[in-house]
Amino acid sequence: MKKRINLVAAVTALIVTAGCGLAGASENEKDPVGAPPVSVAPTTTEPVIEETTAAPVETTTKPKPTKKATKSPTASASPVEQDWSQVPPCFDYEGKNISKAKAKAALKKASGRIYWRNEAPQLKLNFTLVKAVSWQESGWQSAIKNCDGGFGLMQVMPDTLDHMNQRFGLDYDATGNYQDNAYAGANYLAWLTRYFGDNYFKESYDLSPSKCKSHSSWCLLNVVISGYNAGYGTVDAAAKSKTLPNPAYVDSVRSLMADCPCGKY
């Protein structure tokens, strides 16, 4: 009997304890004393991609490589010689240039002619002078045409061509025939040699560099070179003071006579 009473008492105590536990849990949910506030992440309507999206396409897409602008050629199929330093500011080509071998042969042939067989047979040009003037003028390009009218290997001017043809009864075609161009230019050098030799150097036609003290001195060779570029009238005007009207040009040709890039051809 005592055991039965004890068992009942134990069950009763267990029921009371369980009831207290449930009550305590209910109150704690209402007022959790001492418990830290629970933070709930706020819901957001913005899509997650807004936070992790990459930079705009236009800033991340690699630009397409742009082609480098290529310079249009100054002239036609005939390129400018890289070692020809006297390129005029305005020029073009008419046709194609002959080879340097042909240019050299034409200039040699022109420099070896005697242009004054009766009046001055002793007047002789030399290849060193003719090749240097031609390189200065055209870089040995037979098809080049300067905007001032000069054409070909010797950059013969139309007025100069007319002067030579009419004065000596010639028919040089300096624009369509490279050999005639070489002849016309060389003939003009010979004419200048006789003209200046007769007027200023006691009929001497010696074009030797040894007759010149410097590239700028008043000597026949320098005067002839000056006249080829500036015209004989301009040289006449400077004769009184014995100065060259275009010393830079003369110096360039004289330097080419001593050391010309054309020497490699």
Ramachandran assignment for 103, one of left (phi > 0), alpha (psi -120 to 50 degrees), beta (any other):
alpha
Q: Fill in the DSSP letter of residue 144.
A: E
Whole-number average pLDDT of the chain: 79
Query: Rg of the chain over CA atoms, in angstroms?
Result: 50
The enclosing H or E element of 26 equals helix 2-30
**How does pLDDT run across 142-195, given as a tens digit for each residue?**
999 999 999 999 999 999 999 999 988 999 999 989 999 999 999 999 999 999
**How does pLDDT run across 47-56, given as a tens digit for each residue?**
333 434 444 4
**Mean pLDDT in residue range 38-55:** 39
What integer pLDDT is reported at residue 85 of this predicted model?
81
User: Rounded to an integer, what distance in angstroms lies between the CA atom of residue 219 and that of residue 113?
Assistant: 23
The structure's pTM equals 0.71
Backbone angles phi, psi at 93, to 5 degrees: -120, 145
User: Rounded to an integer, what distance in angstroms lies between the CA atom of residue 96 and that of residue 144?
Assistant: 9
Q: How far is CA 186 from CA 67, 106, 158, in A?
A: 48, 11, 15
**Mean pLDDT in residue range 260-265:** 95
Torsion of CA 129, 155, 197, 124, to 10 degrees: 50
Confidence of residue 116 (pLDDT cuts 50, 70, 90): confident
